[in-house]
Homo-oligomer: A and B are copies of this chain.
Amino acid sequence: MEGATVLVVMQQGAAETEVQAVVAAVEARGLKAHAIPGSERTAIGVTGNRGAVEASAFESLPGVLEVIRVTHAYKLVSREAKAEDTVVDVGGVKVGGNRLVVVAGPCAVESLEQTLAVAEGVKAAGGHLLRGGAYKPRTSPYSFQGLGEEGLKILAQAREKTGLPVVTEAVDLESLDLVEEYADAIQIGARNMQNFSLLRRAGRARKPVLLKRGMSATLEEFLMSAEYILSEGNYQVILCERGVRTFSDFSRNTLDLAVVPAVKRLSHLPILVDPSHGTGRREKVRPLSRAAVAVGADGLLVEVHNDPDRALSDGPQSITPEMFASLIGELSQIAPVLGREL
C-alpha cells in the first residue's frame, strides 16, 4: 500500500512533447506525474496513494530511456531523481549554489526599531537574508508568541530599507497564508517537521520553503518530510539542521553536523545549519558556524540581536552585530577551502 515508487527517466534530448506524453499516460492511470528537468535529462516521478505502478506501461513510450524502481521511500528529493544540486531562489538570493548564504536576524521580531537595527547590522556585515520570527512556537502558552501580522509588516519594511529578502516561520495554515504573502521564504520549524497538513500546504505555496529537522528526526524522516512538500509541486526546498535531542546536557541540543554530507549524498536539496538553536549558547555560535561551513553546509541561519540580554526570546543564544561581522570574516576564509565563496 506504499503507493507508486517509480521514476521514468527520459533520454537525453527527449522532446518536450514526449515528456508531456508520458505525463499524460501517468495521469490517465489516476496517478500524479512530477516532471523534474535536469541539465542532462528529465525524470518524471510517479506518485499516487494507492496500488502499485506497472513499470511496463511506460517503458515503451517514445523518448523513455528507462523506468527505475526507487530504492528509498523518498523519490523526488533523491539524487536518483535529480543528479545535480538544486539551487533555490529566495528573493533573488541563490541558496545551494557556489556562494554560501547567511540568514541572520533576531529570534523574534519585537519592534520596528529593533528589527531595523539588527537588519542593518546584518546587511553591513555581509549577511544575505533576514530572519526573524513573527509567529513563535513556544513550549508555554503563557510565553510571548510573537507579533503576528504586525511582525510580518515590520519584516517587510526592513526588507525595503535594506534590500535583504525575508525568511520567517509559519506555524499553521492561517499564518502560512500571511507568510506567503509578506515573506520571500516560508520557514517550517522543528516542532512542525511532521505536521503533514502544514507540509502539504507549503507544497502548494508559491514561495520557497526552509524546512528544519525535528528534534529526534532520523535522516529518512527528514527527507520524507521534504518529500511531502515536493510531492505537492513545490520543488524549492531548503533543509536545515538545528541540533537533535540527546542525553548530552552542556548544550541545548547536539548539533549533528554529519547530517550535512549524508544529505548531500542522498539528496539534491541544499542544506543550511543553525548553530544558534543547535547549541543554545552565544559563545558556541562562532566555532560551530566555522565547523558548519567546513563540513560543507550551503550556509547558516544565525540569531543576531542588538541587545541579546534583553531579547524577548532566546537571548542567551543570540550574538551581537559586531560578533556577527567578525564571524563573517572567518567564514569567508574557510569557504575557499571547499571551492566556495561567501
Contact = CB atoms under 8 A, between A and B. Distances in A.
A143 B2 contact: yes
Given A247-B216, A259-B250, A227 B295 contact: no
Contacts of A247: 216, 218, 244-247
A248 B255 contact: no
A288 interface: yes
Interface stretch (A13-21, A85-93, A204-212, A329-337): A329-337
Contacts of A197: 171-172, 174
Contact of A254 (B244, B288, B291): B244
B249 A218 contact: yes
Interface string A231-265: 10000000000001111111100111111111001
Interface centre among A246, A248, A255 (most CB of B within 10 A): A248
B248 A140 contact: no
B196 A138 contact: yes
Interface string A167-181: 000011110000000
Interface stretch (A157-165, A187-195, A316-324): A187-195
Interface string A273-296: 000001100011001101111111
A145 B49 contact: yes
Contacts of A219: 248-250
A215 interface: yes
Contacts of A290: 294-295, 337-338
A48 interface: yes
Most B CB within 10 A of own CB, among A3, A247, A256? A247
A117 interface: no
Contact of A333 (B144, B278, B337): B337
A122 interface: no
Interface string A298-337: 0000000000000011000000000000000010011011
B291 A262 contact: no
A291 B284 contact: no
Given A4-B142, A139-B220, 18 more contacts: A1-B144, A73-B142, A74-B140, A139-B224, A141-B196, A141-B200, A142-B231, A171-B196, A172-B195, A192-B195, A244-B248, A247-B247, A248-B259, A251-B262, A254-B254, A290-B294, A330-B337, A333-B337
Interface of A: 1-5, 47-50, 73-74, 137-145, 171-174, 191-192, 194-198, 200, 215-216, 218-221, 224, 227-228, 231, 244-251, 254-262, 265, 278-279, 283-284, 287-288, 290-296, 312-313, 330, 333-334, 336-338
25 contacts: A1-B143, A1-B313, A3-B142, A4-B142, A49-B143, A73-B140, A74-B140, A137-B196, A139-B220, A141-B196, A141-B231, A171-B197, A173-B173, A218-B247, A219-B250, A246-B254, A247-B247, A250-B259, A250-B262, A251-B258, A254-B256, A258-B288, A290-B337, A291-B294, A334-B334
